[in-house]
Structure 1
Amino acid sequence: MKTLLADDHPLMREGVRQVLSQLTPPVEIIDAHDYPSLFAQAALHADLDLALVDLNMPGFAGMQGITQFRSRFPEIPLVVLSASESAHDMRSALEAGALGFIPKAASTAVMLAALRQVLAGDLYVPASLGDSYCSPHTGAAACAALQHCGLTARQLEVARLLAQGCANKAIAGMLAMSESTVKVHIAAIFRAFGVTNRTEAVLEIQRLMQKP
């Protein structure tokens, strides 16, 4: 398994290397120390299984680096590793396309569990967000907007994961249902929104979620 590890602190990279050594299969780690080197290494290694990226590094401010990476390398799963424990930063990173957000204060066990979850095709949402995390865009108000469209509680869960870009297999795993059941719920969501494909459904869900 090949992982791109980006952090501007060498000691932090060394510590994360020790954690990654506990994953199976064995991990080949490629280092980057800022956003330019992150982009350069990602371009050189098309077979990356994961990018584990510090949120604040030289090259870009705020979430711009994460957004740029997801735009340039959408096929590479990205997990943010950050000293921040801000719910706003966590939400913003997930909104920008990260598949997980791991605070640097997290234990080794939590970090390993989060990485295994992402590598299995799931989204890792920090426990500190809890039930407040409804979507990458909003909280309870947006959930209510979807409910008003006639979605059942289960369809609402599928809809929010659909909007996050999760594949049917990942949705099935996270919600403990079969892929065929996921497809049934997605078909119901299509009918509720009057759309005919996944892209149109995601756009409509996100539009509703962004309503004030």
Structure 2
Amino acid sequence: MAKFLIADDHPLFREALQGALANHYSDLQLREAEDLDSTLVALQEDDDLDLLLLDLHMPGSGDLYGLIRIREDYPLVPIAIISGTEEPAVVAKCIGFGALGFIPKSLPSLEIAAAIDVILQGDTWVPAEVRGRLAELTNEEQELAKKVADLTPQQYRVLLLLHEGLLNKQIAYQLNITEATVKAHITAIFKKLGVYSRTQAVLLVERLQLEPNKND
């Protein structure tokens, strides 16, 4: 039996992907998640998967954070990114941070299934257009990934809101927590990232951002 978890915030895409997989695999077990929190819950309940199909920009994931966090917490779970982009720099970072494949959402269903077959056989699959153009991660980028993996999902939400320039009281309102809790999160974020100011923290998070949230 092939066991998949589809983590994507677009119900229509999840439905289409389910159909493609059901047509391709006769014995199939599918589960769904719509954001990073529900994905982590699903993995906590059962991480015995053949493949996690992960959207880059679903709520809570924050570009690379979802991939980095899941790879840290569940290193044995195979992950393929499902995305609306085919930019070589984006593909390279995802593969560098532990994804086994990068599948564009624009592919026909038969080609998506074929790409998944390649990944299930233990090989890496990326679009033909970017093969041979993937730069390896620098040591600095690898070190940043380790630091970011230590952040909790809530701490990463606070970090993203810091990046947007929000004040502590605005962050507290957005996340429905107290200002004291926000301050505690910021202190923990600074310690885990090894920074001493909001500006330094913002510069780090910008290095994890891939592109505007579009087509995903």
After TM superposition, is the score higher than 0.5? yes
What residue in structure 2 maps to residue 151 of structure 1? none
Alpha-carbon distance in structure 2 between the residues aligned to 1:17 and 1:24: 10
Query: What do the CA deviations read for 1:51-99 (whole angstroms, capped 9, x no partner)?
Result: 0011101113111111111111111110000112221111111111000
State how far apart, in whole Å, the 1-side matches of 2:93 and 2:74 are.
Answer: 18
Cα distance in 2, alignment partners of residues 107 and 128 from structure 1? 16
Q: d(CA) in 1 for partners of 2:48 and 2:26?
A: 15
Shift of 1:24: 2.8
- What does 1:183-202 align with in structure 2 at a 5 Å threshold? none
Indicate the residue corresponding to 2:179 in structure 1. none
Distance in structure 1 (CA, Å) of the matches to 2:79 and 2:47: 14
Q: Please report how far the alpha carbon of residue 45 of structure 1 lies from its aligned counterpart in structure 2 after TM superposition.
A: 0.8
Quote the Cα distance in structure 1 between the aligned partners of 2:111 and 2:129.
Answer: 12
Aligned match of 1:38: 39
Q: Provide runs of 4+ in structure 1 moved above 3 Å.
A: none
2:77 alignment partner in structure 1? 76
Q: Distance in 2 between matches of 1:110 and 1:26?
A: 19
Where do 5+ consecutive residues of structure 1 fail to align?
Answer: 139-212
After TM superposition, give the deviation of residue 47 of structure 1 in Å: 1.7
Residue of structure 1 equivalent to 2:22: 21
Q: Secondary structure, in 3 states, of the residue corresponding to 2:37?
A: helix
Cα offsets for 1:150-183 (capped at 9, x unmatched):
xxxxxxxxxxxxxxxxxxxxxxxxxxxxxxxxxx
Query: 2: distance between equivalents of 1:70 and 1:25?
Result: 29
SS at match of 1:128: helix
Taking only the aligned residue pairs, the percentage that are identical comes to 34
Partner of 2:58: 57
In structure 2, how many angstroms separate the alpha carbons of the residues matched to 1:52 and 1:87?
19
1:144 is aligned to: none
| TM-score, scaled relative to structure 2 | 0.60
**Pairing 1:111–2:112 present:** yes
- The answer to whether the 8 A contact 2:101-2:124 is kept is yes
| Paired positions, count | 137
Amino acid at match of 1:117: V
Unaligned 5+ segments in structure 2 are 139-216
Provide the secondary structure at the position in 2 that maps to 1:59.
coil
Structure 1, residues 73-130: CA drift from partner, whole Å, max 9, x if none?
1111100001122211111111110000001011222211110011111111221112
The equivalent residue for 2:137 is 137
Quote the Cα distance in structure 2 between the aligned partners of 1:14 and 1:88: 29
Structure 2 CA distance for aligned equivalents of residues 12 and 112 of structure 1 = 14
Please state whether the residue corresponding to 2:38 is helix, strand or coil: helix
In structure 2, C-alpha distance between the alignment counterparts of 1:136 and 1:8, rounded to whole Å: 29
Residues 25 and 121 (structure 1), Cα distance of their counterparts in 2 relative to 1, 3 Å cut: farther
Question: What do you get for the CA RMSD once the two structures are aligned?
Answer: 1.4
Match of 2:98 in 1: 97
8 Å CA contact 2:17–2:109 kept in 1: the answer is no
Looking at structure 1, the residues matched to 13 and 36 of structure 2 have their Cα atoms a distance apart, in angstroms, of 16
TM-score (norm 1): 0.61
Cα distance in 1 for residues equivalent to 2:131 and 2:60: 32
